[in-house]
Structure 1
Amino acid sequence: MQSGAEAFGNITGALDYPMFVVTTRVGEHRTGCLVGFTSQVSIRPPRFLVGLSKRNHTYRIASLGATHLAVHLLTREHRELARLFGSLTGDKVDKFARCDWWAGPEGLPILSDAAAWFAGRVLSRVDLGDHLGHLTEPVAGCSPKQLTNLVTFSDVRDLDPGHEA
C-alpha cells in the first residue's frame, strides 16, 4: 500500500487537465499566468475556483486588490501562447507586449487568440497551501458552441516555469 500523498501524486500526475491562462489588472499593472489548478465548484449560482501559485507575479499583483480575473482556454494551435504565459515571469517580461489582446470587462486583458474566455468577479480568497484560491462569479465571456483540441497538461509538461509552483 502507498502513502496517501504518494497515491495522490501518482493519480493526479496521470491526469491530463485542461490548462488555462488567467489574467488580471490592478491599476495600470496587467499580469497573467498559465494555471492548472482550477475547477467549476457550483452550477447555481455559477462559480469557478482559480488557484494562483504564491510564488508567481500574477499572485502578487492579484493580491494588491484585483476584483476580477479573466480565465482563458486555448487550442493547441495557440500552444505557444500557453508557453509564453507559463514559462516567462511578469517580474522580468511584459507578456502582453508579445501577444494580441484587448481590454475587456473591468479593463481585464483578454487574449485575442483564446478559444473561449470568461471574466469573473472575485468573491473570496482561500489559502490552499502553496496556492491561493480565488472564488469567482462569471460576469461576462465568450464561448463557441464546441471546444475541441484544447491545450492540456501534456502539452506543457516539459515547460520550465517562470516561477516554481
Structure 2
Amino acid sequence: MPPEVLLPQLASPDLLRSVFRRHAAGVAVITAQGGGSPVGFTATSLTSVSAEPPMVSFGIGTSASSWPVISETEHVGVHILGEHQQELAATFARSGADRFAAPTGWSEGPEGVPVLDDVLAWLVCRIVARVPAGDHRLVLAEVVLGDPTGVGRPLLYHQGRFNGLRD
C-alpha cells in the first residue's frame, strides 16, 4: 500500500504558528518609557536590517499592552537575552505581569529607556518607522548606542519553549 500523501494546508494563523514553531529564534526584550512607567515585551522577531545606518526591526501586535507606548515613543531598548534568563523572557511574555517588579533588575538608561541588567547585549534605538503589517506593526529603529559585552550563551525560542544551545 502506498504511503499516505499529505496535502499542503491552506494559509491560516494556525499554519503560520505551526511552521514557525519549527524555526529557532533568538529571544529579545524590547523596552520603552511611557507616561512615567516602563513597558516591555518579549520578542522573537528581532532582525538586523541595515549596517549603514545601523538598523533593526521587530514586530509587535496592535493588541499588545505595550503597543500604545511603542506607537508613540521615540526610543526603545533592545535586549538580547542569555540562556540564564528564561524566567525573565517568560515574565515579559506573560500578559498582566508586573514586568519591571523584582526580581527584574533594570535601570534608566540613555534617552530614558529602561535597560535590563545582566543581558548578553543591549541597544538603544530611535524609531524611524512603524509599518502596518496585518494585526501587527513592523517597527524599524536606528541604533543610537549599545553594549555588546554581556557574558553567556543566547536564549532561543523553539517548539513553544525557551531553550539554551545544545553542544
TM > 0.5 fold call: yes
Gaps of 5+ in 2: 1-6, 163-167
- Cα drift, residue 5 of structure 1: 3.0
Aligned residues: 153
For residues 107-134 of structure 1, the C-alpha deviation after alignment (integer angstroms, 9 at most, x for no partner) is 1110012111101000111011121111
Matching of residues 1-165 of structure 1 within 5 Å: 2-3=8-9, 5=11, 11-63=19-71, 65-89=72-96, 93-98=97-102, 99-144=104-149, 149-154=153-158, 157-158=160-161
**Between Structure 1 and Structure 2, which shows a larger proportion of helix residues?**
1
Q: Secondary structure at the match of 1:80?
A: helix
The structure that has the greater radius of gyration is 2
For residues 20-62 of structure 1, the C-alpha deviation after alignment (integer angstroms, 9 at most, x for no partner) is 1000012302100001122111121111111111121111222
Counterpart amino acid of residue 86 in structure 1:
A
Counterpart amino acid of residue 149 in structure 1:
R
Q: CA RMSD of the aligned region, Å?
A: 2.3
**Kept after mapping to 1: 8 A contact 2:26/2:44:** yes
Q: Secondary structure at the match of 1:85?
A: helix
- Cα drift, residue 78 of structure 1: 1.5
**Kept after mapping to 2: 8 A contact 1:35/1:51:** yes
Distance 1:10 1:150 in 2: 23
**Between Structure 1 and Structure 2, which shows a larger proportion of strand residues?**
2
